[in-house]
Structure 1
Amino acid sequence: MTHPSVEPRTTAEDAGDGSRVPAGRSWLDRYFHISRRGSTVAREVRGGVTTFMAMAYILLLNPLILSGKDVQGDTLGQKALITATAFAAALTTLLMGFVGKVPLALAAGLSVSGVLSAQVVPDMTWPQAMGMCVLYGVVIMLLVVTGLREMIMNAIPLALK
């Protein structure tokens, strides 16, 4: 006789929100609530591979955009830019998945890179420009955490959205 805790469940479980999820779910399904969202682990893996392939261009494009000279004539190293782009995308995607439990991939915003390279860097150094990016990120986080971002978005009339 096996211990009751290792026997597979044959009935549905309460998901905590009134819905029922199938028994025998994997730890991935239980942690990320995959079946509760109407998906399967295999579908999510396929979606993740597809998303990675669709986003891989950022590893080439972001370093190209950020390859310009700053006000002092300095440039950023291509290998360092590729590494930083990959690391930032991996870290933020993993945080979104494991902390937020949301299947979203995150990567550098090309619009921010473009503005930085074309409009900011010609007038300041790369360290100063990257410092501005950090401040930009902190301001965005504060807007989200305080709820001010949502209030601003809700204040914009639907016709303008």
Structure 2
Amino acid sequence: MPSTTDQLIALVRELAERHQAFIDVLGPGAGNDRANAFTAQLIREARNTLGVNYAEFRYSEDQSARYDFYIPEERTVIEVAWGLPNPNSEFEKDIFKALIGREHGHEVDRLVLISRPGAVQKCRQPGRQAVIRWVESNHRLEVQVVEVDGQRRMRQRR
């Protein structure tokens, strides 16, 4: 049987495939609304599929920050990080969230970042690779980047 993490990754991919227009650029406002609706649907479907609510886990009582998903029995944090292919993204923030959670007593050995096409390539760039190597060697935190299927969005120059 697949791990809970693998089931959740498959669910995100399936949901993104059902809503291929999700990958299209809408811009601020409309794009955020669509991402929020996608996430709400993902949380509902994950709860129904997995039988447990792993979503929106508060990793610190003194902060309102939450993991998108935390699977304690697998010591895994999953962040749905649609902006990863962008030059400025939530990449470092999500890594720090995993490390801060550890400081608050949560066992975290792996961070899975799920994003749109182009994320894996972006995270192979030297700067992000240096961060991944640093966090893996100094904090023993495995960072895994996975993508949903679809066409990579082309950056529009102004």
Q: TM-score if structure 2 supplies the norm length?
A: 0.23
Q: TM-score if structure 1 supplies the norm length?
A: 0.23
Of Structure 1 and Structure 2, which has the larger fraction of its residues in helix?
Answer: 1
Higher-Rg structure is 1
Q: Which has the higher contact order (CA 8 A, sep 6+)?
A: 2
